[in-house]
Amino acid sequence: MAADDPRLGASLDEGARAMNVPLQPAQKQALLDYIALLQRWNRTYNLTAVRDPRQMLVQHIFDSLSVVQPLQAELRRHGREESAARVADIGSGAGLPGVVLAVMFPGWQVHCVDAVEKKMAFVRQAAGVLGLANLHAAHARVEALPVLNADVVVSRAFASLFDFAILAGRHVAADGCMLAMKGREPLDEIQALQETEWEVARVEPVSVPELNARRCLVWMNRRQGNL
Protein backbone atom coordinates (compact mmCIF):
# COMPACT_ATOMS: atom_id res chain seq x y z
CA MET A 1 0.00 0.00 0.00
CA ALA A 2 1.34 3.49 -0.86
CA ALA A 3 1.77 6.08 1.91
CA ASP A 4 -0.89 8.34 0.30
CA ASP A 5 -3.46 5.55 -0.13
CA PRO A 6 -6.75 6.84 1.40
CA ARG A 7 -7.29 3.45 3.03
CA LEU A 8 -4.34 4.22 5.32
CA GLY A 9 -6.19 7.26 6.72
CA ALA A 10 -9.34 5.21 7.24
CA SER A 11 -7.36 2.55 9.11
CA LEU A 12 -5.72 5.23 11.26
CA ASP A 13 -9.15 6.59 12.24
CA GLU A 14 -10.34 3.13 13.10
CA GLY A 15 -7.26 2.26 15.17
CA ALA A 16 -7.36 5.54 17.10
CA ARG A 17 -11.04 4.98 17.85
CA ALA A 18 -10.31 1.46 19.12
CA MET A 19 -7.70 2.92 21.51
CA ASN A 20 -10.03 5.71 22.59
CA VAL A 21 -7.61 8.32 21.31
CA PRO A 22 -9.35 11.39 19.85
CA LEU A 23 -7.64 12.39 16.60
CA GLN A 24 -8.03 15.90 15.18
CA PRO A 25 -7.82 16.19 11.37
CA ALA A 26 -4.46 18.01 11.62
CA GLN A 27 -3.05 15.28 13.88
CA LYS A 28 -4.25 12.58 11.53
CA GLN A 29 -2.59 14.37 8.61
CA ALA A 30 0.66 14.80 10.57
CA LEU A 31 0.79 11.07 11.38
CA LEU A 32 0.15 10.16 7.74
CA ASP A 33 2.82 12.65 6.63
CA TYR A 34 5.23 11.09 9.12
CA ILE A 35 4.62 7.64 7.58
CA ALA A 36 5.31 9.15 4.15
CA LEU A 37 8.55 10.70 5.45
CA LEU A 38 9.60 7.41 7.02
CA GLN A 39 9.00 5.63 3.75
CA ARG A 40 10.75 8.29 1.67
CA TRP A 41 13.89 8.47 3.83
CA ASN A 42 14.13 4.89 5.03
CA ARG A 43 16.72 3.83 2.46
CA THR A 44 18.96 6.85 3.02
CA TYR A 45 18.82 6.84 6.81
CA ASN A 46 18.19 3.14 7.45
CA LEU A 47 15.46 4.09 9.92
CA THR A 48 13.35 0.96 10.30
CA ALA A 49 13.20 -2.63 9.10
CA VAL A 50 9.50 -2.12 8.44
CA ARG A 51 9.08 -1.06 4.80
CA ASP A 52 5.35 -1.25 4.09
CA PRO A 53 3.31 1.84 5.11
CA ARG A 54 0.44 -0.40 6.27
CA GLN A 55 2.85 -2.20 8.61
CA MET A 56 4.37 1.12 9.69
CA LEU A 57 0.89 2.24 10.66
CA VAL A 58 0.35 -0.78 12.90
CA GLN A 59 3.83 -1.51 14.26
CA HIS A 60 4.97 2.09 14.73
CA ILE A 61 2.00 4.47 14.84
CA PHE A 62 -0.59 2.32 16.62
CA ASP A 63 2.05 0.95 18.97
CA SER A 64 3.11 4.52 19.88
CA LEU A 65 -0.49 5.74 20.13
CA SER A 66 -1.18 2.98 22.66
CA VAL A 67 0.71 4.98 25.33
CA VAL A 68 -1.31 8.18 24.85
CA GLN A 69 -4.18 7.36 27.22
CA PRO A 70 -1.97 5.71 29.88
CA LEU A 71 0.44 8.70 29.85
CA GLN A 72 -2.38 11.18 30.30
CA ALA A 73 -3.82 9.14 33.14
CA GLU A 74 -0.42 8.89 34.85
CA LEU A 75 0.21 12.63 34.73
CA ARG A 76 -3.29 13.29 36.04
CA ARG A 77 -2.80 10.77 38.85
CA HIS A 78 0.33 12.62 39.98
CA GLY A 79 -1.43 15.96 39.77
CA ARG A 80 1.13 17.20 37.28
CA GLU A 81 0.32 20.01 34.87
CA GLU A 82 -0.84 17.79 32.05
CA SER A 83 -0.82 20.51 29.45
CA ALA A 84 2.86 21.34 29.90
CA ALA A 85 4.66 18.06 30.49
CA ARG A 86 8.26 17.42 29.58
CA VAL A 87 8.87 14.00 28.06
CA ALA A 88 12.14 12.37 26.98
CA ASP A 89 12.21 9.48 24.50
CA ILE A 90 15.46 7.57 24.91
CA GLY A 91 16.91 5.54 22.03
CA SER A 92 14.24 7.15 19.91
CA GLY A 93 15.56 5.98 16.53
CA ALA A 94 13.32 7.46 13.85
CA GLY A 95 11.28 9.15 16.60
CA LEU A 96 9.21 6.36 18.12
CA PRO A 97 7.26 7.06 20.19
CA GLY A 98 8.54 10.67 20.46
CA VAL A 99 7.25 12.05 17.16
CA VAL A 100 3.81 10.53 17.74
CA LEU A 101 3.66 12.03 21.26
CA ALA A 102 4.69 15.46 19.96
CA VAL A 103 1.84 15.28 17.41
CA MET A 104 -0.71 14.18 19.98
CA PHE A 105 0.33 16.63 22.75
CA PRO A 106 1.19 20.01 21.23
CA GLY A 107 1.58 21.49 24.75
CA TRP A 108 4.21 18.96 25.81
CA GLN A 109 7.91 19.38 25.11
CA VAL A 110 9.18 16.11 23.66
CA HIS A 111 12.93 15.42 23.59
CA CYS A 112 14.11 12.54 21.41
CA VAL A 113 17.60 11.23 22.17
CA ASP A 114 19.66 8.85 20.05
CA ALA A 115 23.32 8.00 19.66
CA VAL A 116 23.02 7.87 15.85
CA GLU A 117 23.31 11.28 14.19
CA LYS A 118 21.36 10.49 11.02
CA LYS A 119 18.34 9.33 13.02
CA MET A 120 18.24 12.58 14.96
CA ALA A 121 18.73 14.50 11.70
CA PHE A 122 15.61 12.70 10.44
CA VAL A 123 13.62 13.62 13.57
CA ARG A 124 14.72 17.27 13.21
CA GLN A 125 13.60 17.16 9.60
CA ALA A 126 10.26 15.63 10.64
CA ALA A 127 9.80 18.41 13.22
CA GLY A 128 10.28 20.98 10.45
CA VAL A 129 8.07 19.32 7.84
CA LEU A 130 5.28 18.51 10.31
CA GLY A 131 5.52 21.93 11.99
CA LEU A 132 6.19 20.51 15.45
CA ALA A 133 7.85 23.29 17.47
CA ASN A 134 7.56 21.08 20.59
CA LEU A 135 9.71 18.26 19.15
CA HIS A 136 13.45 18.31 19.86
CA ALA A 137 16.20 15.92 18.83
CA ALA A 138 19.48 15.40 20.66
CA HIS A 139 22.29 13.42 19.09
CA ALA A 140 24.03 11.95 22.13
CA ARG A 141 24.57 8.86 24.15
CA VAL A 142 21.97 9.20 26.88
CA GLU A 143 24.54 8.62 29.61
CA ALA A 144 26.59 11.61 28.37
CA LEU A 145 23.72 14.06 27.89
CA PRO A 146 23.15 16.99 30.31
CA VAL A 147 20.21 16.25 32.60
CA LEU A 148 16.82 16.67 30.90
CA ASN A 149 14.63 16.88 34.02
CA ALA A 150 11.70 15.16 32.35
CA ASP A 151 8.35 14.35 33.97
CA VAL A 152 8.36 11.06 32.08
CA VAL A 153 11.32 9.29 30.49
CA VAL A 154 10.01 6.77 27.99
CA SER A 155 11.66 4.16 25.78
CA ARG A 156 10.61 1.60 23.21
CA ALA A 157 12.93 -1.23 22.16
CA PHE A 158 15.88 0.56 23.78
CA ALA A 159 17.43 -1.69 26.42
CA SER A 160 16.75 -3.96 29.39
CA LEU A 161 14.96 -2.28 32.30
CA PHE A 162 18.24 -2.40 34.22
CA ASP A 163 20.19 -0.55 31.51
CA PHE A 164 17.31 1.87 30.94
CA ALA A 165 17.28 2.72 34.65
CA ILE A 166 21.06 3.00 34.97
CA LEU A 167 21.59 4.99 31.78
CA ALA A 168 18.52 7.22 31.69
CA GLY A 169 17.25 7.43 35.30
CA ARG A 170 19.15 10.63 36.03
CA HIS A 171 17.08 12.46 33.38
CA VAL A 172 13.88 12.03 35.45
CA ALA A 173 12.71 15.08 37.45
CA ALA A 174 12.38 14.73 41.24
CA ASP A 175 8.76 13.56 41.16
CA GLY A 176 8.86 12.04 37.67
CA CYS A 177 8.77 8.45 36.46
CA MET A 178 10.12 6.09 33.80
CA LEU A 179 8.03 4.20 31.27
CA ALA A 180 9.32 1.22 29.29
CA MET A 181 7.24 -0.05 26.38
CA LYS A 182 7.67 -3.82 26.34
CA GLY A 183 6.28 -6.97 24.75
CA ARG A 184 5.55 -9.69 27.29
CA GLU A 185 5.92 -8.79 30.96
CA PRO A 186 9.73 -8.93 31.40
CA LEU A 187 9.90 -10.80 34.70
CA ASP A 188 13.68 -11.36 34.65
CA GLU A 189 14.32 -7.73 33.84
CA ILE A 190 12.04 -6.64 36.67
CA GLN A 191 13.99 -8.89 39.05
CA ALA A 192 17.30 -7.35 37.94
CA LEU A 193 16.01 -3.86 38.79
CA GLN A 194 16.44 -4.65 42.48
CA GLU A 195 20.04 -3.54 42.20
CA THR A 196 19.03 -0.05 41.09
CA GLU A 197 17.33 2.95 42.69
CA TRP A 198 14.24 2.22 40.54
CA GLU A 199 11.32 -0.09 41.24
CA VAL A 200 8.32 -1.17 39.23
CA ALA A 201 5.18 0.70 40.23
CA ARG A 202 2.98 -1.41 37.97
CA VAL A 203 2.84 -3.33 34.71
CA GLU A 204 -0.04 -2.25 32.50
CA PRO A 205 -1.14 -4.45 29.62
CA VAL A 206 -2.03 -2.54 26.46
CA SER A 207 -3.74 -3.69 23.34
CA VAL A 208 -2.56 -2.44 19.95
CA PRO A 209 -5.13 -2.70 17.15
CA GLU A 210 -4.25 -5.21 14.42
CA LEU A 211 -1.04 -6.21 16.18
CA ASN A 212 -0.95 -9.87 16.94
CA ALA A 213 1.51 -9.61 19.80
CA ARG A 214 1.59 -8.93 23.53
CA ARG A 215 2.36 -5.41 24.70
CA CYS A 216 2.75 -3.97 28.19
CA LEU A 217 3.89 -0.76 29.82
CA VAL A 218 6.31 -0.98 32.73
CA TRP A 219 6.01 2.08 34.99
CA MET A 220 8.97 2.72 37.27
CA ASN A 221 9.37 5.06 40.25
CA ARG A 222 12.37 5.91 42.40
CA ARG A 223 12.59 3.50 45.27
CA GLN A 224 11.42 5.02 48.55
CA GLY A 225 14.34 5.28 50.98
CA ASN A 226 16.97 4.94 48.27
CA LEU A 227 19.64 2.24 48.08
Ligand X SMILES: C[S@@+](CC[C@H](N)C(=O)[O-])C[C@H]1O[C@@H](n2cnc3c(N)ncnc32)[C@H](O)[C@@H]1O
**Which residues belong to the annotated binding site?**
91, 96, 142-143, 156
- 8 A C-beta contact, residue 94 and residue 122: yes
Task: State yes or no: residue 189 binds ligand X (CB under 6 A).
Answer: no
Q: Does 156 bind ligand X (CB under 6 A)?
A: yes
x/- letters, 35..74, toward ligand X (CB under 6 A): ----------------------------------------
96 belongs to the binding site for ligand X (CB under 6 A): yes
> What residues numbered 106-125 form the site for ligand X, per CB under 6 A?
113-116, 119
In the complex, what is the shortest distance from the CB of residue 111 to ligand X, in angstroms, rounded to a whole number? 12
Which residues fall in the annotated binding site for S-adenosyl-L-methionine?
A: 91, 96, 142-143, 156
- Considering only residues 2, 133, 157, 202, which one is a binding residue for ligand X as defined by CB under 6 A? 157
Q: Stretches 25-33, 79-87, 90-98, 102-110: which one binds ligand X (CB under 6 A)?
A: 90-98
| Site membership for ligand X, residue 91 (CB under 6 A) | yes
Residues 199-218 that bind ligand X (CB under 6 A): none
Candidate residues 66, 92, 109, 196; the one interacting with ligand X per rule CB under 6 A: 92
Q: Which residues of 30-39 are buried (b: 16+ CB within 10 A; e: fewer)?
A: bbbbbbbbbb
Give least dist CB 6 to ligand X, A: 26
Contact set with ligand X (CB under 6 A): 91-93, 96, 113-116, 119, 141-143, 156-158, 167
